[in-house]
Amino acid sequence: MPVCCIRNCKTRTGRAEESSKVYYFPKEPNLRKKWLEACKRKEEELKQTYSVVCERHFLADCIEEKWTEQRLKNQSRVIRRLKKDAVPTEYLNIETERKQRINRG
């Protein structure tokens, strides 16, 4: 089962359509490096598991929606895909953010 690579992210995938959308690491080396930096992971860590990043770590701008046409069934549905060069930037440090909030209050 793929697990989100962002530390402390509680998203678990697997329950089909209800679970968060996840994205696999890009193969393109430069982009892959950026993802690794965002997750604070090393290449070796990725190889041990199916590595994904869930949708919440991307700005809406990074995601494009495409309608697919399934003419046979007369149904269309939206597929959400990452834009080229998208890098995770959101909720990368969940635990730290929580602590900062407590200190402030």
Closest Cα partner for 52 from 94, 13, 92? 13
Q: In the window 4-43, what residues touch Zn ion (CB under 5 A)? A: 4, 6, 9, 11
d(CA 75, CA 105): 50
User: In this chain, which stretch among 31-39, 51-59, 68-76, 80-88 interacts with Zn ion, using CB under 5 A?
Assistant: 51-59
2, 35, 39, 54: residue in contact with Zn ion (rule CB under 5 A): 54
In the bound state with Zn ion, the residue whose beta carbon lies nearer, of 10 and 104, is 10
d(CA 21, CA 34): 20
51 is an interface residue for Zn ion by CB under 5 A = no
Q: What are 102's two structure tokens?
A: 């407590």
Residues engaged in binding Zn ion (CB under 5 A): 4, 6, 9, 11, 54
